[in-house]
Amino acid sequence: MTEVRYDRAPGERPTREIHASAPSEFVVYTIGLFMALLLTATSFWAANTSLLWPGGVFLGLAVLAIAQMGIHLVFFLHITTGPESTNNVLALAFGVLIVFVVIAGSMWIMADMNQNMMMPSSAPMSMQMQH
C-alpha cells in the first residue's frame, strides 16, 4: 500500500476529501467561545468571592489570564505546533516584543519625568509677594 502525501502551502485550507474527519470551523470556534466564557466567569467569581485566600487571588487571576490567552491562541488564531504555524508564531513573538518595548519605554520615561519633577526637600518653596 502506498502512502499518499498532500503538500499544502502555509495558510491553505485542506479540502474536505483529504481531512474528512477534521472538526468543522463552527465546532472549533464554539468550543473556544464556551471555554473563554467559562474562564471569564471564573475570573469574575475569583475576584469577587470571599471563599478564596485574599493573597492567592492575584495568582489565580494570573493563571486564568494565561489560560485565556492560550485558548485564544489555539482556538481563534489557530496557532499550533505544526510547520504551517511558523509565520504566525514569529508574528506573535514580534508583536509581544513591540508591546514589551512600548511598555518598558513608557515606564522608563514616566519614572524619569517623575524624578525630574520632584522638588528637593532641602529647598522649600516660599512665595514672596513683591510690591
Q: Is residue 6 part of a domain?
A: no
Q: Could you tell me if 57 and 96 lie in one domain?
A: no
Per-residue pLDDT tens over the stretch 27-65? 999 999 999 999 999 999 999 988 888 888 999 999 999
Query: Domain of 58?
Result: 22-78
Q: Could you tell me if 55 and 91 lie in one domain?
A: no
Give the H or E element holding residue 100: helix 86-117
Q: Is residue 7 part of a domain?
A: no
Q: Is residue 47 part of a domain?
A: yes
Q: How far is residue 43 from each of residues 56, 59, 66, 72, 109, measured CA to CA in Å? A: 13, 11, 11, 16, 32
Provide the pLDDT confidence category of residue 91 given band limits of 50, 70 and 90: confident
Q: Could you tell me if 58 and 106 lie in one domain?
A: no
Answer yes or no: are the C-beta atoms of 17 and 29 closer than 8 Å: no
Number of domains in the chain: 2
Q: Could you tell me if 28 and 71 lie in one domain?
A: yes
Predicted model pTM: 0.57
